[in-house]
Structure 1
Amino acid sequence: MGQTDSKFRGHLEGGRFIMTLNERVFEQPMLFVRHGLQGGQYQVQWSKVGGHLVLEAPPVNSLAGVEIPQGVNGTSPILGRFPILPSGQDSSFVQVDLTDFILQAPISWQRNLPKSVDRKRSYIEGVCNLENEVVIGTKSTVIQKGKDISSDVDFSFYVLPKPIRPRLFDHRMGFFSEDILDVLNHRPKPAVASIMRWHLEKKNKDLKLSEPLRSIVFYLDPSTPEKWKPYIRAGIMEWQPAFESAGFKNALEVREFGPKDSLFPENAMARSVIRWEAEDSVRKERHSSSTVSKIIDFRTGEILKADIIIGSIEDLSDRYFVRCSPMDPRAQVYPFPDDLMGELIQYVTAHEAGHAFGMKDANYGEYAYPFEKMRDSHWLKEMGHTPSIMGYARHNYVVQPEDRIPPSLLIQKVGPMDHYQIQWGYQEIQDVEMPKDELPTLEALVLQQDSVPWYRYNLNQYEKIGPATANNVMDNDNPIESTRLGLKNLERVMEILDRMYRKESLDRSILKNSYYDALELWYAEMQHVLSLIGGYSIQYKSIGQQGAIYRPIDRTDQEEALYFFMQQAITPPDWLANPNFLVDLRFSTHPDELLGYQQKLVQKLFDPHRLKRLEWMEEALGYEGIIEQFLMKFQSTLFRLTDTRDRRSLALQKEFITLMVKVAQEEMEQSTTLANFGYSEMTKGLFMKALISLQSDLKLALDSDIDDNDIGHLKLCLRELKKVTIVK
């Protein structure tokens, strides 16, 4: 496809890729893109240096007022230097051979390291010239981990459009910044940046609700099975009302590729595609889960292209089964019927669409939702069981079968928080010239978080600060009762699994995987309860906003959480530990996934981050003696003499002693970089005090009238305690 009046174009000449450039493109911003790779872009510029053209990726000056470096470790690399070829064309045009550069240049695409390309087995398949873009299709063979992998890899050179007015980043809202790999995307801090968003502009600026000059359009991958297309389309269109909140009618379109579209390469910048990679993801090197690949104008944060990749869909049914099968008969057969599977594909499409609109994975007000509404069909229809589809709340397992809630209301959907986020990010603010002039209007929206708690966004972090940061659980303002009801349903799931196995000949591998999924959910629910201990509620604030950012969970709620946690985590219910079908699947106690989760939970209870939060509660917030109270309560509960046949309890006792000894001996890693992640001297002292008490209790127990079977275990525990010198 040719360009008659182009600033640049490409063609193949004897298998070589020749680029022709007009001098007008020199020093002008352009993108060099490797399609299908998150972060696969450089903003580049061409310059003429003697008899060569130089392609450089200089720092980008964002209109928000920051300089964005490119390349690895903030470098601004020269990507290539090419001799100008002799040409009989107009002297304002120059030609260079980019074949080897495209096929073999050792470019680091952000987090992705260069791969070893086999040049003899790699070649350029074709070149397509489009308006402001040249697309180069290649067949690339790389050597990765000793394996040869051949795949189609497309590249583009793309002239950037006129920059739009950016919307300034606000750490209280859930949008990515223009540089998706920058550290500010992973820390809740004020920063100078622009948010990622599409360019939407009203056709009629006088109307409250107007169609945009140009809609956001997604194309369906032709390889998508026909039966799933309506559900994928519905997942995108779930967001239409959210854009209406921002003042845009018909802002979204989902199209099929038509005859004219077939003239465009699959990866042209002018097309955002919903790609179907679920069918053969096992056999090919493809995404194992769904994701989004975006191309961004770093100057403004404008999203130029966003491909939604639908990866493996097996985990969709697995997660839904262990959460909702007691309330949805469709989920009690394998495989799921198409209507249920389609609804789950719609859900994952809607989630990924949120990323395509610029929003992050995070927590969006879940902890503020009222527990008593989670079984109310009217609330669920209007508000959903979670405020946003962008959090990992998953599906509603609090509902009980007797509630008779329609199954369609169990699945996570676009919610009120999503409408709020899109309104803040996309509404057109008129009669302003500079990005900072928008701030009064935007601030008024942000301050709605003061009165609407489920509008409060917080970023998922390495340190889980409280219940508002939980993942993979259905969060609301009562994690304990939610977990209690969730466990009731999980017990029903075990019964359904046993019935399917006994009566319907469920495949053993599916049975085993479903059991592992159930254990994983149990583990997530235990962590949810655990998040109350040393936990805070969160409301990000900026200068001028009054009140605390972090508010501690009430002490009585923390005490209740510890009691519930000990009940469940030390001695899990028998229906989970030893379901009826398990005896047909196992020949050994190894591996014991449940015990592994129990041991992790003990470690998480006494994680140094949690203990330091409890220390702060003691020092500054009046929670006097809370660490010692919790430590001694857990220790006394764990070491009540148990039947020695309860091997998991015995293993937890040993795990607890080993952890305590390491802390007291200061054997935990204490390098310079990890010093802040270790235990404080205060905590070490409390652990030593607890060890002294435990040693005394164990010795008294040995002198008492106990079962002979317990003697050996107690002596093993005392031997472990001898590893630390206890000064009396």
Structure 2
Amino acid sequence: MMLALVSSSAIAQLPTISEKTESLTKTEGFFDYYYDEAQDQLWLEVDKLDSEFIYVNSLTAGIGSNDIGLDRGQLGDTRIVYFERRGPKVLMVQPNYEYRAETDNELEKKSVREAFAKSILAGFEVAAEEDGKVLIDLTPFLLQDAHGVTTSLQRQDQGSYSLDKNRSALYSEGTMNFPKNTEFEATLTFAGSSPGGYVRSVVPTPEAITVRQHHSFVELPDDGYEKREYDPRAGYFGITYQDYGTPIDEPLVKRFISRHRLEKKNPETEISEPVEPIVYYLDNGTPEPVRSALLDGARWWNEAFEAIGYKDAFIVKVLPEDAHPLDVRYNVIQWIHRSTRGWSYGSSVRDPRTGEIIKGHVSLGSLRVRQDFLIAEGLLAPYADESTQNTTMQEMALARIRQLSAHEIGHTIGIAHNFAASITGDASVMDYPHPQPKIVNGEIDLSNPYDTGIGEWDKLAVAYGYQDFPEGTDEDAALNEMLEEGYGSGLKYISDQDARPQGGAHPYAHLWEFGDDPVAQLPTIMDIRKTALENFGEANLKTGRPLAELEDVLVPIYLFHRYQVEATVKLIGGLDYTYKVKGDNQAYPEIVDKKTQQAALDEMLKTITPEALAVPEDLLELIPPRPAGLGYSRELFNGNTGPTLDALGIAETAAELPVSLILNPARANRLVEYSAREGNLSLETVLNELVAASWGKKAPNGYYGSIQRMVNHVVLRNMILLAAAEDANPVTKAITHKALRDLQSRLSQRDDADSKFAVYTIGNFLTNPETFDVPQAPATPPGSPIGSDAIYFCKF
């Protein structure tokens, strides 16, 4: 009783909000706030105690390093929170929406709330109160490391940093108020020691990293949004949670897709304008001609909405000059600069309760367009005659950026990757497109490097997510019929985890492959690569540039086949499957037939011949070491010959790619299983053919002979790695050990240096497998964008 009296007395002595803020400027909006410029202090008026709203933290200004991963415009976590008063304190509480009871029984809801922890994100002292409202000092909350900058730096071993509040301040230019959202911004400086290389490469004084952090308080959407159930065949991201109010005979886990809210003004008509269109805004700092290309690609999506009866439902504009890109009222396509080329990605602010997308936010890496330009330079050798301007490279780069714009927007309207689209006529921009050169009259033609427009899969996906139905329609049945028709027409959908080459099993879902038949297209790609390498020379570089820069152009051309190799290998030990549901018209899983697997292996082995691996000798004689000041980077070949190009190291790098993929442990395990079940291609056959293509061939004299000897050791290294792999099953290990012993016995009959070294190496491994140190292959220059794998995954 005494405690209650003391608390009441203390609270009664608080000033009113009017008294506390008498000399301060009030900014009205979703949450009214007062700014004290003299103290750099922001006071928040909380008039909505116990009322939930959305809180998002983001970065307005980032660090600029792909590897660190803290980009300009990067969205942080989206949370539902509410302010709760406890005596002299106000707490910011995050309820736990991962576990719910969707029922009218309040006690049942309470039992779930009390079973799972909530999170209190912040605590504030009540500084004033008036008419049921309280005033709190929000400044410490805004000046904290909410985005996890120090954690990101630590994770990448970039030094020990902490927030320096003396060098941090509120940022009034990014602080604003609107009826349904309040936006705050702060400049934060992180001081540290022993900065890592990534920090040193982008920060002027590496011991002081200054960024800007944004905070958004957003009104929850009204309850007019209707959730749509997730279907694994539809290709959508979404939300998932456990509903403990579910009857025992129904699934506990609930899944719903994420999408923007879209409704027809006139639902009774076949074609109608929307009540509110989906409007995206392009970063007004994007230069031409990239700006126009991005606008073009983004607008492709309107075709999909037109196909389901909407007029002008998807609109793309340039962001107004006075708009803030992190203001949640704007769906934004942001042009992001980094020190090295990196992933682009599409993310969103979603209502965690329903999956409704409130803000789509695309981050497009600006250097990606330059990489396509570089590839075009390598393919075309365009500078033999510099008296006329060649626009083909720019046209190719802009064609790719149109695709990228549409692709990343697709993520922000809810749609996942579809890496099986290329085998059905490039049916989706949600695949990764490979450039599509052709050889015409012996010359490389880049007149149509990329497809244009969205595809049939994209239209189906938009229809699944956004089609409205007349009242009384069985929505589940209508959606299922829609998918059945799409798959019945030949469309396919396979997403991220099934498209990876390392151990991946799906034969037709790949990243950046070319054409609808990986096996047939690999020799086509190899022919294009061969033609480009034969034409490669000074004509690939503008006059006045250092000849050493030819290596920059050479790398993506020499490795031009890398993605087709990654696609072709997945037919070896491959399994064709879909995301089938019971009762639909999709096929059951089927092992790739032996003939196709063998054809894939045959084409893969052609990529490790000396003829395929040799850098033309005239190029080796043309490209000098890099001059002082030009520097080296991971975009270049690695080697062991000092400053000069390492021709054998380059060949080893290219040989390592197919051999390591063929002998991936998961793939080898499947070969063992499938050959036993179906009489398919066996691991023994694969190992025998690899040995025959390497140690079984007589190495010629000279340059090609040295490359052949290098290939031999690549095969041996990967056989040892497979035999030692923890995830290789015992049968796989036994087969590989036998192959090594057989090879050792065979090579022991030879007297050449390579055979003797191989016998010695195998013996050491078989005698001491636990301590044997397998030689490392040279690091391959990156093909995919550098940095974190920012491919957009669904939280399911």
* Same fold by TM-score greater than 0.5: yes
* In 1, Cα distance between equivalents of 2:239 and 2:546: 48
Partner of 1:608: 665
Deviation by residue 1:254-311 (Cα, 9 ceiling, x = unmatched): 22345xx72x544211112222334xx33xxx98443234211111111111222232
- Structure 1 491/105 Cα, relative in aligned 2: closer, same or farther at 3 Å? closer
- Structure 1 394/547 Cα, relative in aligned 2: closer, same or farther at 3 Å? closer
- 1:16 aligned onto 2:55: no
- 1:649 aligned onto 2:687: no
Which consecutive unaligned segments of at least 5 residues does structure 1 have?
Answer: 68-73, 181-188, 370-385, 671-677, 703-710
- 1:720 aligned onto 2:761: yes
* In 1, Cα distance between equivalents of 2:117 and 2:442: 61
Match of 1:33 among 57, 77, 90: 57
Q: Return the offset for 1:517.
A: 0.8
Match of 1:86 among 121, 128, 134: 128
Match of 1:621 among 662, 678, 693: 678
Partner of 2:236: 175
| TM-score, normalising length: structure 1 | 0.81
- Residue identity matched to 2:165: R
- 1:290 aligned onto 2:351: no
Which consecutive unaligned segments of at least 5 residues does structure 2 have?
Answer: 1-24, 60-72, 104-108, 110-115, 155-160, 196-205, 242-250, 625-643, 768-796
Range with greater deviation from structure 2 (687-696 or 584-593) = 584-593
- Residue identity matched to 1:128: M
RMSD between aligned residues: 3.5
- Checking the alignment, whether the CA contact within 8 Å between 1:16 and 1:99 is kept in structure 2 is yes
Q: Return the offset for 1:495.
A: 4.1
- Structure 1 391/662 Cα, relative in aligned 2: closer, same or farther at 3 Å? closer
What are the within-5 Å matches in structure 2 for residues 23-422 of structure 1? 24-35=48-59, 36-60=73-97, 76-87=118-129, 90-104=130-144, 108=148, 116-126=162-172, 127-143=175-191, 146=195, 147=206, 148-163=208-223, 164-178=225-239, 192-258=254-320, 262=322, 264-278=323-337, 281-282=338-339, 288-311=342-365, 312=367, 313-321=369-377, 339-369=395-425, 386-397=426-437, 400=440, 407-408=447-448, 410-411=450-451, 413-422=453-462
- 1:428 aligned onto 2:476: no
Q: Return the offset for 1:112.
A: 5.5
What are the within-5 Å matches in structure 2 for residues 525-604 of structure 1? 525-545=564-584, 549-573=588-612, 577-578=615-616, 580-585=618-623, 587-589=644-646, 592-604=649-661
Q: Return the offset for 1:501.
A: 4.3
Q: Which secondary structure does the structure 2 equivalent of 1:577 belong to?
A: coil
- 1:680 aligned onto 2:704: no
- Structure 1 306/546 Cα, relative in aligned 2: closer, same or farther at 3 Å? closer
Q: Which secondary structure does the structure 1 equivalent of 2:126 belong to?
A: strand
* In 2, Cα distance between equivalents of 1:47 and 1:317: 55
* In 2, Cα distance between equivalents of 1:305 and 1:536: 38
Partner of 1:183: none
Deviation by residue 1:131-158 (Cα, 9 ceiling, x = unmatched): 1211112222124663322233221111
Deviation by residue 1:133-185 (Cα, 9 ceiling, x = unmatched): 111122221246633222332211111111411111122222111379xxxxx
Range with greater deviation from structure 2 (154-163 or 462-471) = 462-471
* In 2, Cα distance between equivalents of 1:409 and 1:365: 17
Range with greater deviation from structure 2 (580-589 or 398-407) = 398-407
Deviation by residue 1:193-240 (Cα, 9 ceiling, x = unmatched): 221211111111112222111111122322222443322211111111
Partner of 1:186: none
Deviation by residue 1:612-668 (Cα, 9 ceiling, x = unmatched): 221231233332x6222222122122222212642232223223334434555xx43
Partner of 2:689: 633
Percent identity (aligned) = 20
* In 2, Cα distance between equivalents of 1:191 and 1:394: 38
Q: Which secondary structure does the structure 1 equivalent of 2:478 belong to?
A: helix
- Structure 1 210/455 Cα, relative in aligned 2: closer, same or farther at 3 Å? farther
Q: Which secondary structure does the structure 2 equivalent of 1:200 belong to?
A: coil
Q: Which secondary structure does the structure 2 equivalent of 1:457 belong to?
A: coil
Determine which structure has the larger helix proportion and give its number: 1
* In 2, Cα distance between equivalents of 1:175 and 1:366: 19
Partner of 1:184: none
* In 2, Cα distance between equivalents of 1:155 and 1:51: 25
Q: Return the offset for 1:59.
A: 1.2
Partner of 1:374: none
- Structure 1 105/590 Cα, relative in aligned 2: closer, same or farther at 3 Å? same
Q: Return the offset for 1:318.
A: 2.9
* In 2, Cα distance between equivalents of 1:94 and 1:136: 19
Q: Return the offset for 1:590.
A: 6.9
* In 1, Cα distance between equivalents of 2:721 and 2:563: 26
- Structure 1 192/387 Cα, relative in aligned 2: closer, same or farther at 3 Å? same
* In 2, Cα distance between equivalents of 1:64 and 1:351: 36
- Checking the alignment, whether the CA contact within 8 Å between 2:433 and 2:513 is kept in structure 1 is yes
Partner of 1:376: none
- Structure 1 91/503 Cα, relative in aligned 2: closer, same or farther at 3 Å? closer
Q: Which secondary structure does the structure 2 equivalent of 1:721 belong to?
A: helix
Q: Return the offset for 1:243.
A: 1.4
Q: Which secondary structure does the structure 2 equivalent of 1:722 belong to?
A: helix
Aligned residues: 657
- Residue identity matched to 1:271: Y
- Structure 1 45/287 Cα, relative in aligned 2: closer, same or farther at 3 Å? farther
* In 2, Cα distance between equivalents of 1:367 and 1:653: 35
- Structure 1 684/105 Cα, relative in aligned 2: closer, same or farther at 3 Å? closer
Q: Return the offset for 1:16.
A: 0.6
Q: Which secondary structure does the structure 2 equivalent of 1:8 belong to?
A: coil
- Checking the alignment, whether the CA contact within 8 Å between 1:215 and 1:251 is kept in structure 2 is yes
Partner of 1:673: none
Deviation by residue 1:292-346 (Cα, 9 ceiling, x = unmatched): 34211111111111222232232232345556889xx99x978866555433332
- Residue identity matched to 2:655: Q
- Structure 1 524/451 Cα, relative in aligned 2: closer, same or farther at 3 Å? same
Q: Return the offset for 1:604.
A: 1.7
* In 1, Cα distance between equivalents of 2:380 and 2:394: 16
| TM-score, normalising length: structure 2 | 0.75
* In 2, Cα distance between equivalents of 1:431 and 1:64: 28
